[in-house]
């Protein structure tokens, strides 16, 4: 009998990629998403879909009905800038949503493992160890990072009191097909959208700030391996390679065939200077390593955006 998984945020670009992979691996998949940023068409047809807010009483009813063995919690408020402007809203979604879900898990009495989408950049903050390992103190410099770190502490409480183990998958900067270039989007999706529209791309600050960019398909595989291995604890999900924003733009401009330089604007509040995480524990613990090289992943992502634009 197939194992049952409930994926929150499963209409988002990461969540839907995870849903596809679990279905391919033979799992029974249900998706919960309020479609505030996700897309209904991204939910795989073979997954049962519930258009529900993770903070709601309806989410508890979904848990009672589905009785999943694994919860993959991807639903989140992901905009760091919005978290700085509206910290209570960020905490309501990211901490309140998790607590509602975990209370439902306790009541459902079926949940054996939780996969939690944490942040390997935002929870560590500015560090003196780059690439940063999992045992580094979590010192977030944004409300978003603080909410993710707090969520890991709350999951420790549920493990201690109710025996529910969890994997905190600390993602670096995830990019890939299906990412929305509008609203709460990562820089890759924003640059792809603007290059296709012939509009200038804006880099905040001098562009020397670095990030660790990991492909969504690799992230989905990390979730599947963590679920199959029942790994309990934090795992960094990144490449261990720093890329600055100027270099990132250069890759995408080449993919677009554009020689237009980026524009620059003042640096943003709460933004880290360097962020890169050490993925070696994931390799040792569950056999995961990133497989998609940055240049190839960015080219594939740009081609997906270009194809979607042509189809529209």
Q: State how many domains the chain has.
A: 2
Partner residues linked to 126 by β-bridges: none
Using alpha carbons only, give the angle 297, 36, 115 rounded to the nearest 5 degrees. 60
Determine what percent of the chain is predicted with pLDDT higher than 90: 91
- 236 and 106 in a common domain: yes
Same domain, 246 and 128: no
- Residue 266 inside a domain? The answer is yes
Same structural domain for residues 77 and 204? no
Q: What are the pLDDT digits (tens) for 173-210?
A: 999 999 987 755 689 999 999 999 999 999 999 999 99
- Please tell me whether residues 62 and 124 are part of one structural domain: yes
- Domain presence at residue 180: no
CATH classification at residue 65: 3.40.50.720
- Tell whether the model's pLDDT for residue 300 goes beyond 70: yes
User: Span 64-80, mean pLDDT?
Assistant: 96
How far, in Å, are 15, 26, 103, 302 from residue 43 at the CA level?
9, 16, 25, 21
Q: Which pLDDT does position 183 carry in this prediction?
A: 55
pLDDT in tens, 110-135: 999 999 999 998 999 888 899 999 99
For the cut 90, the answer to whether the pLDDT of residue 224 exceeds it is: yes
User: Are residues 122 and 72 located together in one domain of the fold?
Assistant: yes
Residue 236 pLDDT: 98
In a domain, 246, yes or no: yes
Q: Which residue has the tokens 């306790």?
A: 106
Q: Picking from 38-47, 143-152, 178-187, 264-273, which range would have the lowest pLDDT averaged per residue?
A: 178-187
Q: Does residue 84 fall inside a structural domain?
A: yes
Using alpha carbons, select from 78, 236, 99, 54 the residue that is nearest to residue 143. 78
Same domain, 54 and 152: yes
Residue 272, pLDDT score: 76
* 9 lies in the same domain as 37: yes
* pLDDT of res. 81: 85
pLDDT value at 252 more than 70: yes
pLDDT of 270: 63
What's the pLDDT score for residue 185? 65
What pTM, to 2 d.p., does this model score?
0.95
Q: Is residue 181 part of a domain?
A: no
In a domain, residue 26? The reply is yes
pLDDT tier at 83, thresholds 50, 70, 90:
very high
Same domain, 160 and 204: no
Average pLDDT, rounded, for the chain: 95
**Can you state the angle between helices 143-162 and 97-108, rounded to 10 degrees?**
20
Task: Catalogue the E-assigned strands of the chain.
Answer: 4-8, 28-32, 48-50, 70-73, 113-119, 166-171, 173-175, 202-204, 210-211, 213-215, 233-237, 243-244, 263-265
Q: Are residues 103 and 252 in the same domain?
A: no
Distance of alpha carbon 140 from alpha carbon 95, whole angstroms = 15
| Residue at 100 is within a domain | yes
Q: Do 147 and 203 sit in the same domain of this protein?
A: no
pLDDT(32) > 90:
yes
Same domain, 50 and 121: yes
Band of pLDDT at residue 14, cut at 50, 70 and 90: very high
- What are the phi and psi torsion angles at 223 (to 5°)? -65, -45
- Asked if residue 27 has pLDDT above 70, the reply is yes
Which pLDDT value is given to residue 126? 86
The residue range of the domain holding 249 is 187-209+242-276+293-311
Q: Is residue 191 located within the same domain as residue 72? A: no
Which CATH number fits the domain that encloses residue 193? 3.90.25.10
Task: Note the pLDDT tens digit of each residue in 281-296.
Answer: 999 999 999 999 999 9
Q: Is the model's pLDDT at 271 over the cut of 80?
A: no
Tell me if 272 is assigned to some domain. yes
pLDDT at 80 over 90: no
Active site residues: 144
């Amino acid at each position: 009998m197939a194992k049952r998984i409930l994926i929150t945020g499963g209409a988002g670009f990461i969540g839907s990629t995870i849903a596809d992979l679990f279905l391919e691996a033979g799992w029974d998949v249900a998706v919960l998403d309020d479609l505030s940023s996700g897309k209904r068409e991204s939910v795989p047809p073979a997954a049962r879909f519930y258009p529900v807010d993770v903070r709601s009483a309806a989410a508890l009813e979904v848990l009672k009905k589905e009785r999943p063995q694994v919860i993959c919690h991807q639903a989140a408020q992901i905009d760091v800038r919005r978290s700085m402007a509206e910290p209570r809203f960020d905490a309501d979604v990211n901490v309140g949503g998790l607590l509602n879900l975990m209370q439902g898990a306790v009541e459902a009495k079926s949940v054996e493992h939780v996969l939690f989408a944490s942040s390997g950049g935002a929870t560590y903050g500015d560090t003196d160890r780059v690439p940063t390992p999992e045992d580094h103190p979590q010192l977030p410099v944004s409300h978003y990072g603080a909410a993710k770190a707090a969520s890991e502490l709350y999951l420790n409480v549920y493990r201690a009191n109710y025996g529910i183990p969890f994997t905190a998958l600390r993602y670096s900067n995830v990019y890939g097909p299906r990412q929305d270039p509008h609203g709460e989007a990562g820089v890759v999706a924003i640059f792809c959208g603007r290059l296709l529209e012939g509009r200038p791309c804006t880099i905040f600050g001098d562009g020397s700030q670095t990030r660790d960019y990991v492909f969504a398909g690799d992230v989905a595989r990390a979730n599947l391996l963590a679920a199959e291995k029942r790994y309990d604890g934090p795992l960094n999900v990144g490449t261990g390679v720093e890329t600055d924003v100027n270099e990132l733009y250069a890759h995408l401009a080449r993919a677009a065939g554009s020689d237009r330089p980026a524009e620059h604007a003042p640096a943003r509040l709460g933004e880290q200077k360097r962020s890169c995480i050490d993925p070696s524990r994931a390799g040792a613990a569950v056999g995961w390593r990133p497989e998609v090289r940055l240049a190839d992943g960015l080219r594939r992502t740009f081609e997906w955006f270009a194809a979607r634009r042509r189809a529209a």
